[in-house]
Structure 1
Amino acid sequence: MEPTNQIDINGWHLNTAYVVNFDLIPAEVRVEFGGETIASSSKTRVMYELGHAPIYYFPRSDVELSLLELSDHSTYCPYKGHASYWSVRTEVRSKENVIWCYENPHQEVARIGGHMGLYWGLMDAWFEDGIVVDGPRDIPGRIDTTNQLKALFPELAAQWHPTRNSGSQPYEFSAESNELVWWQDDIGSEWCARIRDRVLEVTKLRADGDATPYG
């Protein structure tokens, strides 16, 4: 999520292949903080977003709003929109800006409206069907922080042009993307090439359709 003092660009206009999945979790999810249940729901969703770790989102109606205090902090994500933040306050302790909501999300992700996200590591405990869990579900094959271009091919990410890609970053693309972007090498040479073509060059794979960038 980008600070709000930057230009509010809609990332979908630049990268239509970006991925934001919003899947229903088949379990009753509950989260505790400061001796209180902050949220509990059978309709919790997990967001899988290109370049980001999975995040759990609760329907706003299933969050204990009486324990929250609206903050003046906000952020902007090119793919989701403006986020408002809440701090959590219980009798035991409090934490600033740990819950957020995209109250008017971009049309491409309108389904996330009305849901509140929580920072996993800043809560005390998470439960699925009454069992303590130590991390969000990471379904094989879903987008996460390990399978985007910057993570898989850091040498290519280092050549991402710093100014000519309309503010987009290498973590926003998969290694198989056909997006045409600008590159710049160590000596300042600039050129345009598709991400997948660059990956195929690096991995020396044939580009005839019977191989993927992952071998």
Structure 2
Amino acid sequence: MPTASWNGVVIAQANDDEVQIVENNVYFPPSRVKQEYLQPSSHTSRCPWKGLASYYTLNVDGKINENAAWYYPEPSEKAAQIKDHIAFWRGVDVRR
């Protein structure tokens, strides 16, 4: 069961058939991510084939991890399966 943890707390957990794996990143459906740990960020980045990514900052028990989660609110057609799904990096432990 794929999970994402940071600062000793499970932030996301889903069944294998619920996640999307793209470029070795696990994208969790938003319903399987604990939204209380996410804070909107103004940071963005662009992938040549997926489109414009938006970010969240994690806040877990008062510890902040800036821009540690990203998602594609309007991905390209080639990446439509990850629309609004959330992936993690910057020290977040993601296990498949």
Shorter-chain TM band: 0.7 to 0.9
Q: In structure 2, how many angstroms separate the alpha carbons of the residues matched to 1:113 and 1:72?
A: 18
Structure of greater relative contact order (alpha carbons < 8 Å, 6+ residues apart): 2
Q: How many residues align?
A: 94
**Residues in 1 aligned to 2:78 and 2:8: alpha-carbon distance in whole angstroms:** 37
Q: 1:37 aligns with which of 10, 19, 23?
A: 10
Aligned to 2:38: 68
Shift of 1:127: 4.0
Percent of aligned pairs with the same residue?
28
Native 8 Å contact 1:35 1:92 kept in 2 = no
Instruction: Give unmatched runs, 5+ long, in structure 1.
Output: 1-27, 49-53, 129-215
Q: CA RMSD in A?
A: 1.5
Q: Say whether the 8 Å CA contact 2:26–2:94 is kept in structure 1.
A: no
Superposition misfits of 4+ residues, deviation over 6 angstroms: none
Contact 1:34-1:92 at 8 Å conserved across structures: no
Deviations 1:20-60 (A, max 9, x none): xxxxxxxx111211121110000222113xxxxx1111111
Return the match for 2:59 from 89, 94, 117: 89
Tell me the TM-score normalised to structure 1 length.
0.41
User: Could you tell me how far apart the structure 2 residues matched to 1:63 and 1:73 are?
Assistant: 20
Name structure 2 gaps, 5 residues minimum. none
| Bigger radius of gyration among the two | 1
